[in-house]
């Protein structure tokens, strides 16, 4: 299962590539980041070995094998610039500890002689859970040590702010459902990654503020830790999405890129030199709350003039009642209202069109600012909402291009990835996997 490239457009200095990912069967194994017809090979950043790494050599060997799916000792020796003897010792330790295993490589030289022996990750060496907590729907996936998704669940949630205790209960229900679906038990789970909207200090796991919570956000981490006796990693949901691109998607082989997502909020993640950039205080980047209008529209955060207040789902929905008139059904959920609004716009309904047109102009503005500030090689427009093509219409890219100082500037590519709804939770598995890998592998020698 993969995605197929459906269209390429080149506009001024900006090239736009649109991908449509196929629907994914819930409950089945998913391979999200692959070209059509090609098998997913490994997971994790492919450029890791090229960066200056402070990682222990044993872990570098492991990460190399995981990111390439499988690798022969000779390839590891060459890629990490280590001696064949060192590669043999380190791989022997990783095999003895049950993290790597030997497989017969299909790559037999000239079809003669002994087949080459390659190494691969032992998938069942560890399991992790990735979760996205959100308004209306929570999602979770369970992945093995090689990054394969074993199971997923999605449960409806409230569209209201809730207490810390409610979030803990909802997370617990989600995990129980996931364990039941996967047939795995609690003791097999080595870490849980959780992404949620808001300001999260990743290092300490402190949720400073989240639109999901009524109050006491800073107590969430402690409450979750007290409830689950498994290492927990919390992060901003846009960072989860960015990790999904870095580990499983387009960003695997790109050193500097930005991810922008438009849904119930407007999020952004940034990868600099193959690493997720979280800022000096670990709070990440809040593109949605950058101001685009002084004294402008009221944002969910309580301030005025935030980008989100013009571009996110709720910004469109609050105008939908007026625009749709009798076609507006308040009993519908936000996703359905948005779908109706989009349908109306497509069929030429002028007021509905106006709503989308304004939102798309603000997206152009946001993207041009991202280019001006960070000079990324690629901007990935990611998330479920990319099924709405107004977000990457010609006018958006033309307007974005017009707002960038293009004199002598190298072009920035914009790529659209319309992932399925599990992408966020999948990114959270990357957070959990990268966290447990260091501790499991560092103990490999003693095992
Ligand atoms: Zn705001």
Tell me how far the alpha carbon of residue 405 lies from the centroid of ligand 1, in angstroms: 27
The label of the residue with tokens 């209008």 reads 293
**pLDDT of res. 2:** 30
| Joined tokens for residue 51 | 């960066």
**pLDDT of res. 320:** 86
**pLDDT of res. 244:** 94
Q: Does domain 125-242+424-442 have CATH number 3.30.420.40?
A: yes
Length of the chain: 447
Tell me how far the alpha carbon of residue 297 lies from the centroid of ligand 1, in angstroms: 10
The side-by-side arrangement of strands in the sheet containing 257-262 is 3-11, 14-21, 413-418, 378-382, 257-262, 266-272, 275-276
What's the rounded Cα separation, in Å, for the pair 355 and 334? 15
Tell me how far the alpha carbon of residue 207 lies from the centroid of ligand 1, in angstroms: 17
Tell me how far the alpha carbon of residue 130 lies from the centroid of ligand 1, in angstroms: 27
* φ and ψ at residue 4, rounded to 5 degrees: -125, 140
Question: What is the location of CATH 1.10.10.10 in the chain?
Answer: 41-121
Q: Give residue-wise pLDDT tens across range 381-401.
A: 987 777 777 777 888 888 998
pLDDT band at 21 (very low <50, low <70, confident <90, very high): very low
Q: Does domain 41-121 have CATH number 3.40.50.300?
A: no
DSSP character at residue 115 = P
pLDDT of 369 over the 50 cut: yes
| Joined tokens for residue 237 | 């949901």
Tell me how far the alpha carbon of residue 408 lies from the centroid of ligand 1, in angstroms: 34
What's the rounded Cα separation, in Å, for the pair 187 and 190? 8
What's the rounded Cα separation, in Å, for the pair 151 and 154? 11
Tell me how far the alpha carbon of residue 128 lies from the centroid of ligand 1, in angstroms: 33
**pLDDT of res. 412:** 87
Q: Which residues pair with 2 in a beta bridge?
A: none
CB atoms closer than 10 angstroms to residue 3 = 20
For residues 186, 189, 191, 194, the Cα torsion angle rounded to the nearest 10 degrees is -70
**pLDDT of res. 108:** 52
What's the pTM value of the predicted model, to 2 decimals? 0.82
Query: Which among 125, 385, 129 has a CA at the least distance from the CA of 234?
Result: 129
Question: What is the location of CATH 3.30.420.40 in the chain?
Answer: 125-242+424-442, 253-419
In whole angstroms, how far apart are CA 356 and each of 162, 308, 341, 351? 30, 14, 9, 9
Provide the phi-psi class of 41: left if phi over 0, else alpha when psi is between -120 and 50, else beta. beta
**What residues pack around ion ligand 1 (CB closer than 5 A)?**
289, 299, 301, 303, 306
Burial of 66 (0-12, 13-18, 19+ CB in 10 A): buried
CA–centroid distance for 337 within its chain: 25
**pLDDT of res. 40:** 62
Helix (H, G, I), strand (E, B) or coil at 42: coil
| CATH for 253-419, options being 3.40.50.1100, 3.30.420.40, 3.65.10.10, 3.40.50.10540 | 3.30.420.40
Q: Give residue-wise pLDDT tens across range 327-347.
A: 778 788 888 888 888 888 889
**pLDDT of res. 113:** 59
The label of the residue with tokens 């006796």 reads 229
């Amino acid at each position: 299962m993969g995605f197929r490239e459906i269209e390429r457009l080149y506009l001024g200095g900006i090239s736009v590539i649109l991908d449509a990912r196929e629907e994914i069967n819930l409950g089945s194994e998913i391979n999200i980041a692959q070209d059509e017809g090609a098998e997913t090979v490994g997971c994790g950043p492919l450029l890791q070995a090229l960066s200056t790494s402070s990682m222990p050599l044993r872990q570098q060997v492991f990460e190399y094998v995981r990111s390439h799916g499988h690798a022969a000792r000779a390839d590891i020796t060459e890629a990490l610039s280590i001696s064949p003897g060192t590669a043999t010792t380190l791989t022997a330790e990783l095999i003895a500890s049950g993290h790597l295993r030997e497989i017969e490589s299909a790559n037999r030289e000239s079809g003669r002689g002994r087949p080459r022996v390659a190494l691969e990750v032992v998938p069942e060496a560890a399991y992790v859970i990735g979760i996205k907590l959100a308004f209306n729907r929570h999602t979770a996936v369970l992945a093995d040590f090689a990054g394969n998704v074993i199971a997923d669940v999605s449960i409806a949630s409230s569209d209201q702010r809730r207490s810390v205790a409610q979030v803990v209960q909802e997370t617990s229900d989600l995990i129980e459902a996931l364990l039941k679906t996967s047939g795995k038990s609690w003791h097999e789970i080595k870490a849980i990654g959780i992404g949620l909207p808001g300001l999260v200090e990743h290092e300490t796991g402190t949720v400073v503020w989240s639109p999901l919570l009524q109050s006491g956000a800073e107590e969430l981490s402690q409450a979750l830790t007290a409830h689950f006796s498994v290492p927990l990693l919390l992060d901003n949901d846009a960072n989860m999405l960015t990790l999904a691109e870095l580990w499983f998607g387009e960003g695997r082989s790109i050193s500097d890129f930005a991810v922008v997502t438009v849904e119930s909020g407007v999020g952004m993640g940034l990868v600099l030199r193959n690493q997720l950039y979280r800022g000096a205080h670990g709070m990440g980047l809040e593109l949605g709350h950058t101001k685009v209008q002084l004294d402008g529209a009221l944002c969910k955060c309580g301030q005025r003039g935030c980008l989100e207040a013009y571009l996110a789902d709720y910004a469109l929905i609050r105008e939908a009642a007026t625009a749709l008139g009798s076609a507006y059904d308040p009993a519908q959920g936000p996703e359905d209202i948005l779908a109706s609004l989009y349908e109306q716009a497509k069929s030429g309904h002028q007021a509905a069109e106006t709503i989308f047109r304004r939102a798309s102009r603000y997206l152009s503005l946001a993207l041009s600012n991202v280019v001006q500030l960070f000079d990324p090689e690629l901007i990935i427009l990611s998330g479920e909402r990319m099924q709405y093509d107004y977000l990457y219409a010609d006018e958006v890219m033309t307007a974005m291009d017009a707002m960038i100082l293009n004199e002598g500037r190298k072009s920035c590519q914009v790529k659209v990835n319309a992932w399925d709804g599990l992408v966020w939770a999948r990114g959270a598995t990357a957070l959990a996997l990268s966290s447990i890998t260091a501790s499991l592998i560092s103990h490999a020698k003693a095992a």
